[in-house]
């Protein structure tokens, strides 16, 4: 294990061993029967640790444990469940630095972003605690005398969570914390590219669950490749599957869950654009575009992929952005002096290089050159240069989501044209406009404006706050996680009618002589 910026001490604090079981019902870790998955850091190419993947028979044990736990967990009052989640938030505060380092080292995002991701976990815990006292229904007047109607929500049961490598802990917490206060139990399949993060989180959770006598099975983890995910998506005992990943993956999950009439919460690809108006504050616009394009080395679902720039500002924005790219420091993400870390692995590097090649083939023009960085500091082979290219929106390579720091820029004349370009992709996650003109801003946010699940004014496409529901439209999947009323997806709605009178009036005046 590397001694890189205190990572070895962080691993020790988080209970990460050289060889770990990848399957847990809570405090119990199942025997190491599955194939070995090795986790290598994209930071320096070093082996961090190994896990044993979950076997099919172990998956059955996990589901049974979850089903048994649900019978107990659902009966605990929601505020009591909220209190346990509150304690999880406190425990995460204790381990924020260690977990942030692991996130940074195993995934490759900057240490600041790793800390930010753990802070999102803490924030969703705080949100869920308040929510635990607000799982409200509606009371309605009945058309029948001496009757009362109301709606209430009940927990679904087992919630399956399939998370992606780019946010190896936060997205799981968005789902788990809400599901737990709702009375559900969770089975988490982490990305096989960042499996150690799931083990660290389970160890932290266990500290709280053991103190509160939470039954085994409320928090379970499984690890492995897509085959374990397929067991979950086709399992009728898992009423809800929340999956984060590519559109291709999401379509398979949606089809499998839909075939059994289950529920799927899908958070899939983004092809996010910022419109830079002639009325934009360019200092704000350039900052938003820069962070959106290169943050997490372009590996966020909300990363900025396209800049749609008013023709009167095009040359100025292009030149300022190119100048800003020259000042980027690329290197070890645990070094807080660096802006950009590595891509997740060499497969991602290959896709990045292929995309650059396709830009030229399809008629685009690279303005800020890319390439793979070499040298001792970049020994993992995963460090690349962020790219800026001029390209029209209809190019196939622009229509696709390349999970890498490649930014396409293009011109527009009228706002309607810019909005049409922004909406002219199959993805519909995040969008933004940079303008100081109120009419432009309001038009962008109107029914005829952005068709994305997230639409911002004078902030970039990247990132989101816990208080608002996160998700997108079109082939982004339509799911909503985190804030607002996203909790309802983790529950089933029931309508209740109570007759407190002495008679039973029947519909359409029907009567029986009894």
Rounded to whole angstroms, the Cα distance separating 340 from 333 reads 7
Alpha-carbon gap, residue 65 to 446, rounded angstroms: 48
Residue 507 · residue 497 · CB < 8 Å: no
| Number of CB atoms found within 10 A of residue 35's CB | 12
How crowded is the C-beta side of 200, counted as CA atoms within 13 Å? Answer: 31
Element (H, E) at 59: helix 56-73
Calpha distance 454→471 (Å, rounded)? 7
Residue 208 sits at φ, ψ, to 5 deg, of -85, -45
Pairing of strands 147-155, 139-141: antiparallel
Contacts of 337 (CB under 8 A, 6+ apart): 329, 331
Q: Report the relative pairing of strands 304-310 and 147-155 from DSSP bridges.
A: unpaired
> Which residues are catalytically annotated?
267, 301
Q: Which residue has the tokens 């406009």?
A: 433
CA distance 242 to 233: 9
Residue spans of alpha helices (H) in 218-262: 226-233, 247-259
């Amino acid at each position: 294990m590397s001694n890189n910026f205190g990572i070895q001490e962080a691993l020790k604090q988080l209970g990460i061993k050289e060889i770990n079981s990848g399957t847990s019902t809570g405090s119990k870790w199942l025997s190491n029967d599955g194939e070995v998955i090795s986790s290598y850091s994209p930071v320096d190419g070093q082996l961090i640790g190994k896990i044993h993947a979950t076997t099919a028979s172990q998956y059955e044990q996990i589901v049974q444990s979850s089903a048994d736990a649900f019978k107990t967990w659902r009966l605990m009052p929601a505020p009591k469940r909220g209190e346990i989640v509150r304690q999880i938030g406190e425990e995460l505060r204790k381990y924020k630095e260690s977990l942030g380092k692991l996130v940074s080292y195993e995934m490759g995002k900057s240490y600041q972003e790793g800390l930010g991701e753990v802070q999102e976990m803490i924030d969703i815990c705080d949100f869920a605690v308040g929510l635990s006292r607000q799982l409200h229904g509606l009371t309605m007047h009945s058309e029948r005398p001496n009757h009362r109607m109301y709606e209430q929500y009940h927990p679904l049961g087992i919630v399956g969570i399939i998370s992606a490598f780019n946010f190896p802990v936060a997205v799981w917490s968005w789902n788990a914390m809400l599901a737990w206060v709702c009375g559900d139990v969770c089975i988490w399949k982490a990305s096989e590219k960042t499996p150690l993060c799931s083990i660290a989180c389970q160890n932290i959770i266990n500290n709280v669950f053991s103190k509160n006598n939470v039954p085994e099975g409320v928090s379970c983890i499984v690890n492995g490749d897509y085959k374990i995910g397929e067991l979950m998506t086709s399992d009728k005992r898992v009423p809800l599957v929340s999956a984060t990943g590519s559109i291709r993956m999401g379509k398979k999950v949606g089809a499998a869950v839909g075939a059994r009439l289950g529920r799927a919460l899908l958070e899939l690809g983004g092809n996010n654009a910022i419109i830079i108006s002639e009325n934009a504050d360019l200092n704000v616009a350039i900052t938003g575009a820069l962070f959106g394009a290169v943050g997490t080395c372009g590996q966020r679902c909300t990363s900025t992929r396209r800049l749609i720039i008013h023709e009167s500002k095009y040359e100025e924005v292009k030149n300022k952005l190119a100048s800003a790219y020259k000042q980027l420091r690329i290197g070890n993400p645990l070094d807080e002096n660096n802006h950009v870390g590595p891509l997740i692995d060499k497969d991602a590097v290959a896709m990045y290089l292929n995309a650059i090649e396709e830009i030229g083939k399809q008629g685009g023009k690279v303005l800020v050159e890319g390439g793979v960085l070499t040298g001792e500091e970049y020994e993992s082979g995963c460090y690349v240069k962020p790219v800026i290219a001029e390209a029209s929106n209809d190019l196939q390579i622009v229509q696709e989501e390349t999970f890498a720091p490649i930014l396409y820029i293009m011109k527009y004349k009228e706002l309607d044209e810019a909005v049409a370009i922004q909406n002219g992709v199959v993805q519909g996650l995040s969008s933004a406009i940079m303008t100081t003109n109120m009419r432009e801003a309001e038009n962008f946010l109107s029914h005829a404006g952005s068709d994305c699940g997230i639409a911002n004014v004078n902030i970039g496409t990247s990132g989101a706050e816990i208080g608002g529901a996160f998700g997108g439209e079109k082939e982004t999947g339509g799911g909503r996680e985190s804030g607002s009323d996203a909790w309802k997806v983790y529950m089933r709605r029931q309508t209740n009618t109570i007759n407190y009178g002495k008679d039973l009036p029947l519909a359409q005046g029907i009567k029986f002589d009894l």
